[in-house]
């Protein structure tokens, strides 16, 4: 039986990259999306093609849910219970950037609330829901080894004064990963934080020229942009069980941005 992975915010960008890499290793995937059904359908088709190219037969389903809304989170989990009866991997990827980059002395409460609700509160309580289900499943299936991944950002620790709300939301998510890692270890549920750097997605396109210059000037030791595929490969390694004696750790996928150099 294939593993089953739920990837939130998987219609495009990093979420799509993760879904594709999981499909390549033969994992069934639930593609969660909030509004872009066309993009979600494309991700489903691409996952099936990637699986077939790698000789895998998988099931891929899509499900619309805004994870910042309690009832929609519950609907998503109930769908997975009804359709698959289990979940092996939760990937908390869904997230948004500020609608407008604004200095922290001018930024609005509305923007702050939006980012906290989607980027931090939603994943936190979705993980709570799924963790309790995983605990029940582990009690009856001792060989079951579920995993949870939080996709955060270098913005969890790197200061951006024109998007403080985003930085705070990612810092909160980073702490959530640690909290759940400690709480769930006794049940054999491992938790990981994958921390992307500058990744080539729609979210980073508005700042492309600036990031191009920073990268060329040595912002990252590896002088190139990251891709959604890079993040996907890190998550696939987790799904394959390559870190069995590890929980709560940060896996940096940032071209070396986190390194301090004298």
Concerning whether 245 is annotated as a catalytic residue, the answer is: no
3-class SS letters over the chain: CCCEEEECCCCCHHHHHHHHHHHHCCCEEEEEECCCHHHHHHHHHHHHHHHHHCCCCCCEEEEECCCCCHHHHHHHHHHHHHHCCCCCEEEECCCCCCCCCCCCCCCCHHHHHHHHHHHHHHHHHHHHHHHHHHHHHHHHCCCCCCEEEEECCHHHCCCCCCCHHHHHHHHHHHHHHHHHHHHHHHHCCEEEEEEECCECCCCCHHHHHHHHHHHHCCCCCCCCCECHHHHHHHHHHHHCCCCCCCCCCEEEECCCCCCCCC
The residue annotated as part of the active site, out of 33, 124, 157, 166, is 166
- The catalytic site residues sit at 166
């Amino acid at each position: 039986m294939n593993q089953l992975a739920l990837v939130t915010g998987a219609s495009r960008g990093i979420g799509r990259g993760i879904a594709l890499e999981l499909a390549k290793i033969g994992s069934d995937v639930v593609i969660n999306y909030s509004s872009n059904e066309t993009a979600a359908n494309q991700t489903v088709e691409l996952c099936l093609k990637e699986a077939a190219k790698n000789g895998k037969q998988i099931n891929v389903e899509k499900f619309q849910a805004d994870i910042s809304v309690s009832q929609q989170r519950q609907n998503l989990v109930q769908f997975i219970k009804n359709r698959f009866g289990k979940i092996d991997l939760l990937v908390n990827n869904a997230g948004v950037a500020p609608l407008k980059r604004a200095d922290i002395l001018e930024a609005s409460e509305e923007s702050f609330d939006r980012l906290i609700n989607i980027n931090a509160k939603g994943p936190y309580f979705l993980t709570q829901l799924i963790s309790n289900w995983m605990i029940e499943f582990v009690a009856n299936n001792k060989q079951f080894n579920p995993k949870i991944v939080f996709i955060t950002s270098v913005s969890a620790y790197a200061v951006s004064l024109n998007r403080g709300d985003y930085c705070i939301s990612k810092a909160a998510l980073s702490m959530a990963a640690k909290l759940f890692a400690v709480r769930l270890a006794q049940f054999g549920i491992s938790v990981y934080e994958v921390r992307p750097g500058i990744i080539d997605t729609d979210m980073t396109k508005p700042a492309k020229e600036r990031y191009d210059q920073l990268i060329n000037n040595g912002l990252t030791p590896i002088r190139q942009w990251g891709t959604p595929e890079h993040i996907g490969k890190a998550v696939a390694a987790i799904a394959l069980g390559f870190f069995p004696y590890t929980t709560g750790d940060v896996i940096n996928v940032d071209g070396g941005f986190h390194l301090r150099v004298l």
